[in-house]
Amino acid sequence: LRSIARASLGLFIVRSEQAKEDYIAQMIDLYHVDGVVFHDCRTCSTNTNTRYGMPRRLAERTGIPSLILDGDVNDLRCVSDEQARTNVEGFIEQLADAKHATRSVVA
Amino acid sequence: MMFAGIDSGSWNTKAVVIDADARVLGTAVTRSGADLSAAAEDSYRTALERAGCVRDDISAVWSTGFGRQCVTFADGSRTELDCHGRGAAHYVAGPLVVIDIGGQDAKVIRLDASGQRLSHRMNRKCAAGTGSFLDEIALRLGIPIERMDALSTGFTEELELSSFCTVFAGTELLTLIRSGKRPADLAMAAYRSLVKRIIALDVLQGRVVATGGVIAHHPTMVKLLEHELRADIVVPPHPQEMGAFGAALAARDGASSVGPLAAEPERGQSVTVIGGITNAR
């Protein structure tokens, strides 16, 4: 019972906003992450971490940029392939430009 | 040396020809229609004519917009997120927030002092908060979209559309029309509704620049945005052609071309087998 409780309460999606933020910040650091992609899941707020300013707080805290993709876990009406493609492509451009700028400064 | 940019948008295809100093020599706006390649050709040809030059004079032409991969003659492409930011940053010193309102999407792009993109936010799949919302309203009011801005300036009563959903706002409008409300007041209410949707996209602080076809043809939108944000909004030259101008700048500056992303399997191709029953979606 104790382990079920621990497993249930330790799940990422049931943790507080602060715990989630700390966890992502830790992962950014551990894996030297260049950018974070958030999924705004239309019909599941528990699976969505973008609605209370977390992307902004994380960007301020870590300096790592993020992208929010709008979508859903099951309702395709909330998904737009073309917009997702432009969003991802735009984010890659942004990350590539930032890397290029850093390299130029270092060089 | 001359460069060109083509912005293949959902509604219009824009083309811009610039010289090496980024001076605009010729522009064109044509309807995109169902054949994006043809529209790009058409728009490009007109912009070249207006610039007084021919294709061979152009060192590089880059494409942008949702149909950027359909511009077959382009030497490279960048997303409209990049191009609108790039174009705006050419005219206005950063840090900046760029609001672009197009026919089918709206976006907020944040740039740092050197014009580097910090973040962007686009509207959802839904067309609320875009030019097509205004098209629908104009249709309901029975006026050409070109007349909507002038009409709205004669408003006398502050009406509110409770929804920014294009479909719901359309039906709400019918109720208001039936109750005898004036078209000028209804047009203004539509603009107010659109502004509400735009300012909800992201935090809009600092120097704000507005671009896109809606901004170019509906000056009332700028006034309402300024009122809501309690700040001046900068409208750069040729706001509707800003994406194409940004693409021309990318061509001139030799930016790296990212797209197209690796093709994904079509939805229809995925076949799953569940308990012996082939379930082809």
Distance (Å, whole) CA B25 – CA B161? 42
Of the given ranges (A73-77, A86-90, B112-116, B206-210), which has the lowest mean pLDDT? A73-77
How buried is residue B90: exposed, middle or buried, by Cβ count under 10 Å (0-12/13-18/19+)? middle
Kindly report the number of other CB atoms within 10 A of residue A99's CB atom. Answer: 11
pLDDT at residue number B171:
86
Please give the Cα distance from B163 to B170 (Å, whole number).
9
Of B6-10, B11-15, B131-135, B261-265, least confident by mean pLDDT is B261-265
Nearest CA to B98 out of B73, B75, B76, B81 is that of B81
- Mutate one of B64, B86, B124, B249 to test the A interface: name it (highest A CB count within 10 A): B124
How sure is the predictor about B259, in pLDDT bands with cuts at 50, 70 and 90? Answer: low
Segment B100-111, tens digit of pLDDT? 999 888 999 999
Cis, peptide link before residue B239, omega less than 30° from 0: no
In angstroms, what separates the C-alpha of B82 from chain A's closest C-alpha?
7
Planar angle of CA B85, A100, B263, nearest 5 degrees: 75
ipTM for the whole predicted complex goes beyond 0.85: no
Please check the confidence at residue B275 and state whether its pLDDT lies above 70. Answer: no
**Tell me, what's the pLDDT at A45?**
87
What is the chain B residue with the closest CA to A78? B125
Secondary structure element (H or E) that encloses residue B176, with its range: helix B166-178
pLDDT per residue as tens digits for the range B165-219: 778 888 888 899 999 999 999 999 999 999 988 998 888 888 999 999 999 999 9
What is the model's pLDDT at position B95? 94
Tell me the pLDDT band of A106, cut-offs 50, 70 and 90: low
Q: Which residues pair with A38 in a beta bridge?
A: A68
Question: How many CB atoms within 10 Å of residue B11?
Answer: 17
* Contact residues of A toward B, CB < 8 A: 55-56, 59, 65-68, 70, 77-80, 82-83, 85-94, 96-98, 100-101
Q: Which residues of B touch A51 (CB under 8 A)?
A: none
- Residue A96 · residue B258 · CB < 8 Å: yes
Amino acid (1-letter code) at residue B105: D
Q: What is the pLDDT of residue B168?
A: 84
Mean confidence (pLDDT) of chain B: 88
pLDDT at position A74 is 87
Q: How far is it, in rounded angstroms, from Cα B92 to Cα B245?
A: 14
Distance from CA of A26 to the nearest CA of B (A): 21
User: Which residue type does B109 have?
Assistant: I
| Distance of alpha carbon B76 from alpha carbon B92, whole angstroms | 25
Query: Confidence class of residue B161 from pLDDT cuts 50, 70 and 90?
Result: confident
Please answer whether residues B100 and B86 qualify as being in contact, where contact means their C-beta atoms are separated by less than 8 angstroms: no
Q: Is B238 left (phi over 0), alpha (psi -120 to 50) or beta?
A: left
